[in-house]
Amino acid sequence: NRYFNEFCFRINRSQSKDTISTNLIKRMVITDKIYQSKIIGN
């Protein structure tokens, strides 16, 4: 049962298009701009 669960997890993960980098890029595109001065408080 553990082997099958691991197999399913890996198959699903390999076929998933939502990788960490894809998620990061999506979030960068849909969020508002923020400038460095606002981040550091100047």
Give the pLDDT confidence score for residue 42 in this predicted structure: 65
Give the pLDDT confidence score for residue 5 in this predicted structure: 93
Higher pLDDT, 16 or 26: 26
Tell me the pLDDT tens digit for each residue of 7-17: 998 888 777 77
**CA–CA separation, 28 vs 23, rounded Å?**
9
Average pLDDT over residues 13-35: 85
Structure tokens at 25: 């890029």
| 28 CA to centre of own chain | 11
Q: pTM of this prediction?
A: 0.41
Q: CA of 10: how far to CAs of 21, 30, 36, in Å?
A: 18, 29, 39
Give the pLDDT confidence score for residue 29 in this predicted structure: 92
Domain boundaries, the chain: 18-42
Altogether, the residues listed in the chain come to a count of: 42
**CA–CA separation, 7 vs 11, rounded Å?**
6
User: What is the overall mean pLDDT for the chain?
Assistant: 86
Structure tokens at 35: 């400038």
